[in-house]
Amino acid sequence: MRGTTSRRWYYIIATVVVVLAVVIGTALWWNQRNAWKVADPAPLPEPVPVLQAAQTDGPAPDPATVTDALAGPVADPALGKLSGQVTDAATGDVLWTADQDRMLVPASSTKLVTATAALLTLAPDDRVGTQVLRGAEPGQVVLKGNGDVTLQRSPGTGFFTDAASISDLAAQASAALGGEKVTSVVVDNSFRQGDLFNSTWDGADIAAGNVAALGAVMVDAGRLDPSQNYSPRSATPAADAGRDLAAALGVPGVPVSASDRAVATAGEDATLGSVESAPLSTRLRDMMQHSDNLLAESVAREVAAARGAEPTFAGASEATLAALTEAGIDVSGAILKDNSGMSADNRLSAHILDGIVTAAAGDGDHAAALRPLLDALPVAAADGSLVDRYGPDSGARAGAGWVRAKTGTLDGVNALAGTVTTDSGRVLTFGFLSNGSDMDAGRAALDRLTAALRRL
């Protein structure tokens, strides 16, 4: 009996404990539920743009102060013939000049014109497509280019950021072909018009890793070694892209050719695969960071096509300058034979270069559209074409991290144009062109000019 009674009390107590636990738990849940309803969630703060108009928090240096600061560095004979201009980005006031309207060879600082025209004309998310089509002949595959020079062989192997790949095209084409045998590959290079190699360029620069024939479809802009910026370029970049496609399709030995004329296809349903380049904003950053000449020429043709101009060297040059003029950027006297700066026949002034950067850094009508230009500029001692400059023994160390600028280099030519934040917190824009100068000594002298501005 005692055992039965004990078990009965045990069950009663256990039941009470369970009931109490449920009651208490329910009460806590109800209170917590009400607690969650006490206050509405705090509104999220408005996002702050990464790049804004130049601020006026720091005191603006007066022209006399800037002149004194530059007096020593500007006297360096390593500068050769100099054209220079410095401006207060916030106000647009010109603080210093030296033959600012003198037209000199700009080298790759020309890319400032190209990038600015692209940002004024095209959308930041514009992409360039490439297709694989079924050819009119049995077993023939056509690689149709529309101007993307940034393709890579397979993801992670290329030079450019987020580039489309030949392997992706091949995978799509193989699936669409369903086992059909591929007997030949033809590259349709007809999208390009006029000369593919600028008449003012030096053919030796192909092996030097600076240029190649501007194909309608290119892998790594023709680099033979995509791990190196200045890798020698291919003499047959369009056909190379076709050979890469054949290899990716598993038929590396089939005949491959490239045609400057439109290649016949199987009809409206001929598409076997397609890919798109990275957006314009990404491609412009690559162009400016690595000073890639063929990417600049390709982007310039996108500008020409959008403006209804001929997609040739001449048509693209006219289109880019016209875009700047319409935006109120003074390009009077400018001469462009290309849009990369490889042509020694180009002529720009410090006034033009500084005016472009001021338009992006200030708060004018087109500043918002041009702001990505500033983000694309190499940072002194940190990245891009300035990564190896402004070192500890350069005499320009003060500018490291504070100068952002597009470089330019040819034989006897050095250029630097961009922004610098002074020690007092003011943003200045500058354009410097140096002709008749030694490459290394001239570069170092320009770096010291901008470092002097940083110290203001």
H or E, element range at 344: none
Q: What pLDDT score was predicted for residue 267? A: 84
SS3 390: coil
What's the whole-model pTM score?
0.87
Q: What's the CATH number of domain 63-123+311-454, 3.40.50.300, 3.10.28.10, 3.40.50.1820, 3.40.710.10?
A: 3.40.710.10
Is the per-residue pLDDT at 14 higher than 60?
no
**165, 245 contact by CB (below 8 A):** no
Q: What pLDDT score was predicted for residue 57? A: 66
Q: How confident is the model at residue 58 (pLDDT cuts 50, 70, 90)?
A: confident
Is the per-residue pLDDT at 340 higher than 90?
yes
Looking at 165, 184, 234, 291, which residue is catalytic?
291
φ/ψ of 36, rounded to 5, equals -65, -20
Q: What pLDDT score was predicted for residue 56? A: 57
Is the per-residue pLDDT at 439 higher than 70?
yes
Can you name the residues that pair with 141 across neighbouring β-strands? 134, 185
Burial of residue 144, with CB atoms counted within 10 A of its CB: 0-12 exposed, 13-18 middle, 19 or more buried: buried
Q: pLDDT per residue over 258-314, tens digit each? A: 999 999 999 888 999 999 999 999 999 999 999 999 999 999 999 999 999 999 999
Looking at 83, 109, 111, 317, which residue is catalytic?
111
Is the per-residue pLDDT at 249 higher than 60?
yes
Is the per-residue pLDDT at 15 higher than 90?
no
Interior angle at CA 175, CA 173 and CA 177, nearest 5: 65
Burial of residue 50, with CB atoms counted within 10 A of its CB: 0-12 exposed, 13-18 middle, 19 or more buried: exposed
Task: Name the average pLDDT for the chain.
Answer: 90
- Number of CB atoms found within 10 A of residue 40's CB: 6
Q: pLDDT per residue over 393-413, tens digit each? A: 999 999 999 999 999 999 999
Torsion of Cα atoms, 251 then 254 then 255 then 257, to 10°: 0
> What residue ranges do the domains of the chain occupy?
63-123+311-454, 129-278
Is the per-residue pLDDT at 37 higher than 80?
no
Interior angle at CA 287, CA 281 and CA 290, nearest 5: 130
Note if 291 is an active site residue: yes
Looking at 108, 298, 340, 434, which residue is catalytic?
108
φ/ψ of 439, rounded to 5, equals -60, -55
Q: How far is CA 266 from CA 129, 169, 259, 352, in A?
A: 19, 18, 17, 50
Note if 108 is an active site residue: yes
Q: pLDDT per residue over 114-169, tens digit each? A: 999 999 999 999 999 999 999 999 999 999 999 999 999 999 999 999 999 999 99
